[in-house]
A and B are shown apart, each in its own frame.
Chain A
Amino acid sequence: MYKFLITHLPKSLANIMIALWYFFLIVFNIYCGVAVSQGEFQYVGW
């Protein structure tokens, strides 16, 4: 994805978009972890 962005966008903009993408993933994972621990949905897996 980084390669795709860097070839189509200016480097600084690509970096910002990648940083936002990782930020989104981290926040969403934390949200899911909290939701599972509070029983909002059941965790399936190991």
Chain B
Amino acid sequence: MKLLIEVILFAIPMVLLAWTLPRTYVLPSQIIITGLFIAYQSPLSFVILTSITLGNYYLLHKAVLQKSIKIAISLCILILLIVSAKILFTIHDHWIIPLGMSYYIFRNIHYTIESYNGRIQNESLLSYFAYNFFLPVLIIGPINRYPEFIRDWERRRMNSEYFSLGLQRILFGVSKILIIGNYLLSSKSIAFITNLDENYLWLKAYLETVTLVLNAYFQFAGYSDIAIGIALLLGFRIMENFNFPFLASNMQEFWMKYHMSLSAFCRDYIYTPIAAHYRKPMLGVVITMIIIGLWHEITMPFLLWGLLQAFGIYLAFLFKDSPTSWVSRNLGRIFVFNYFCLSCVIIDYQELGKALEVYKILFFIN
């Protein structure tokens, strides 16, 4: 809760300055406050993230090299950084990944690729810094896009509509985290499950699995709401991260509604190039879902989780031509919810042995 409160506390002066300062000083003030926030949380993170920003900007816009070489160097360094940080974090528990590093690197990879595609040209260091040091999305996303960020900045609307919408989103976000995630799911629901009779072992395992997944979802959706809300208070409309994912009727649709900024990033920069190059959409899906899994953590459970998601999408591919009706759509929803919950058992328990025990209970295997 400390981090959540601190994000909101640092956002307050940012919003006040955004509403009072002349336009020229707004971006620098946002960069400074975000920089102070990172330095306050972890000075090392501040040094690392600033170095990456400066290094990448210099490489892409100032270095005298062939364009493709610059892009290749930038991508190699960024991918190496995220992979090494994740591996070190997995090996040494006490190592802490620089604050928001996973999202930060993905935003920079997007910037680099779009520079290569020509959608980003001759950008100023100030706007690049403002994009990277944007407090609302710094820690847990959404992975906002640079062109949209700059467009929002240029068309920034400081009006009562955005302000009230922003406050509403923050209230909904905090409610999702505190009331649904912590009070109802972590506290009341877990207490109910713990007190269940031992004869209801299956029900216990099932409810525990569902509670863990729903808790993770509401927490994440809550933080995304807070990020979107703070951005609205600053006059920015950033992309949504969730769109009622558990109402999806197949796994393909589910991944278009769940963690949308990550799945859109992976669709644009991993799935589409692979599927287009090899003419094999399923190969693209498998590689994309493995990368999404490993992006969370480079461990075997997350690799298997990614493969299970790919299998779920494969099933959606198989049945895509079957006729849809009210019944089939709702059966699909029940399937998607349960399939996702069951696939998350692997990552909830972290150890494959424990996860297998839970699967045995859930599938009545003695």
A binds B: yes
Number of residues of chain A lying within 8 A (CB) of chain B? 15
Q: Is B171 an interface residue (CB 8 A)?
A: yes
Question: Distance (Å) between the CB of B6 and the closest chain A CB?
Answer: 10
Interface size on B, residues (CB 8 A): 20
Residues of B within 8 A of A29 (CB): 171, 174-175, 178-179
- The yes or no answer to A38 lying at the interface (CB within 8 A) is no
Contact indicator per residue, chain B 340-352, by CB within 8 Å of chain A (1) or not (0)? 0000000000000
* Interface majority SS (helix, strand, loop, mixed), chain B: helix
Residues of B contacting A44 with CB < 8 Å? 181-182, 186, 215, 219
Proximity bits, B89-128, A CB within 8 Å = 1, else 0: 0000000000000000000000000000000000000000
Interface centre among A25, A28, A35 (most CB of B within 10 A): A25
Least CB separation from A41: chain B residue: B187
Least Cβ–Cβ distance between A26 and chain B, in angstroms: 7
21 contacts between A and B (CB under 8 A): A22-B171, A25-B171, A25-B172, A26-B171, A28-B175, A28-B178, A28-B179, A28-B183, A29-B171, A29-B174, A29-B178, A32-B178, A36-B178, A41-B182, A41-B187, A42-B187, A44-B181, A44-B219, A45-B182, A46-B3, A46-B140
**Which residues of B approach A to under 8 Å, CB–CB?**
1, 3-4, 139-140, 171-172, 174-175, 177-179, 181-183, 186-187, 215, 219, 223
